[in-house]
Amino acid sequence: MPDDMEPTSQKQVTLIPCDRIRILNPRVRNRRTFEAMVENIARIGLKRPITVAPRAGTDPQEYDLVCGQGRLEAFIELKQHQIPAIVIEADESQCLVMSLVENCARRQHNPIDLMREIGSLRERGYNDRQIGEKIGVSYEYVNMIAGLLEKGEERLVSAVETGLLPLNLAIQISKTDAKGAQKALMDAYTQKKLRGRKLTLVRRLIQQRELRGPQIKSNALGRRVAKRALTSEGLVRAYQQEAARQKLLIKKAELAQSRLMFVREAFRKLCADEHFMTLLRAEGLETMPADLAQAVTDGPSS
C-alpha cells in the first residue's frame, strides 16, 4: 500500500503555509461543487488533511501537492494562511504519478449510499441536529431526508441528492398516490420548478417508482443486482406489458386526434359565420396561427 493510503491516525499532521504549496496536476472543478465544499469547510472544518511532499532545494521550504487540491483552494478562498497536511517523502515525478492515481481512484459515491449514512447515524444514537452538524447540512434537511428513508423512498432521496428533484416536491410525492404524484408534477411545471429535461426525467422516475417500488435494489457494495436470467414466462409477461403500453398509446393518440378534429371543425364553422368574423375584426382578433388557418381552409377531413 502506498504511504499516501495509510490511515491518517498513523501519520503526523502539520500546518503548512498555503502559499508554499505547488499544485503539480491542477484540475478544473465544477464551480457549484467547489462553493459547496467551501461552505462545508467553513461550517464544520476540514475533515481530512491534504498530502504534500517537500520540494528539494527550496528555502524557505516549499511543497508539492500530492492530493487535496479542492481542500487547499477552499482554504485559500476562506483567507486561511495555513492548512493541515501530511508530509511524505517523494520526488516531483512520484508526486505527479500519485496525484494522477488519486484522481483516477477517487470514488464516485452513489447519492443513495451517502443518504443511507443518515439512517446509520440515527441507529448509532445521533439525533438529527447532531447528524446535520457532522455532515454540514441543516437539521430540517436531515429530518426530511430521514423521513423519506423511513418510508423506503430511496428513489426520491437519490433524485433529491442529484439535484433532479426539489426536496419539498419529493416529500409531496411520497405522501400521495400515482395520480397525486402526476398532479404534483404538473403544479411544479406550472410554478416553473421543473422544466425541460428535468421534467422528463422526474416523470420517468415516478413511473419507475410506481412499477418497481420506491426502493433501489442493490447489493452490499451499492452496485445494482445482476439481472435474473430471462425465462419464457418473463418474456411473455414483458411482451404483454409492452403490448398493453402500445394499446394505451394508441388510445391516447386516437383521443387526441378526435379532439383536434372537433376543434378544427368548430373553427371552420365559426370562420364561415360572417357575423362572428365581423365581431373578431372589430376586436382586432381576426388572425390565427398559420397551421390552424391552413387546417380550417382545407375543410373537413375525409
Look at residue 255 and tell me whether its pLDDT is greater than 50. Answer: yes
Whether the predicted model's global pTM rises above the 0.75 cut: no
Q: Is 55 exposed, middle or buried (0-12, 13-18, 19+ CB in 10 A)?
A: middle
Distance CA 195, CA 139 (A): 29
Q: Grade residue 87 by pLDDT with cuts at 50, 70 and 90.
A: very high
Distance CA 32, CA 36 (A): 6
**Residue spans per domain, the chain:** 3-105, 111-212, 232-298
Mean pLDDT over 98-104 rounds to: 62
CATH 1.25.60.10 for domain 3-105: no
Look at residue 14 and tell me whether its pLDDT is greater than 60. Answer: yes
Using alpha carbons, select from 153, 190, 158 the residue that is nearest to residue 172: 153
- If one compares 111 and 64, the residue with the highest pLDDT of the two is 64
- If one compares 256 and 92, the residue with the highest pLDDT of the two is 256
pLDDT at 249: 82
Distance CA 53, CA 14 (A): 12
pLDDT at 10: 53
Q: Is 183 exposed, middle or buried (0-12, 13-18, 19+ CB in 10 A)?
A: middle
pLDDT tens per residue across span 147-163? 887 788 888 877 877 77
pLDDT at 224: 46
H-run or E-run covering 212: helix 196-212
SS3 state of residue 8: helix
Residue 125 DSSP label: T
Q: Grade residue 52 by pLDDT with cuts at 50, 70 and 90.
A: very high
Mean pLDDT over 160-183 rounds to: 80
pLDDT at 81: 92
pLDDT at 74: 93
The dihedral sign for the CA sequence 249, 254, 257, 262:
negative
Which of 217-221, 234-238, 274-278 has the weakest average pLDDT?
217-221
Distance CA 49, CA 4 (A): 11
Q: Which three cell numbers stand for residue 278?
A: 365581423
pLDDT at 102: 63
pLDDT tens per residue across span 123-149? 778 888 887 777 667 778 788 877 887
- Residue 239 corresponds to which amino acid? Y
Look at residue 83 and tell me whether its pLDDT is greater than 90. Answer: yes
Look at residue 226 and tell me whether its pLDDT is greater than 50. Answer: no
Look at residue 9 and tell me whether its pLDDT is greater than 50. Answer: no
Look at residue 273 and tell me whether its pLDDT is greater than 90. Answer: no
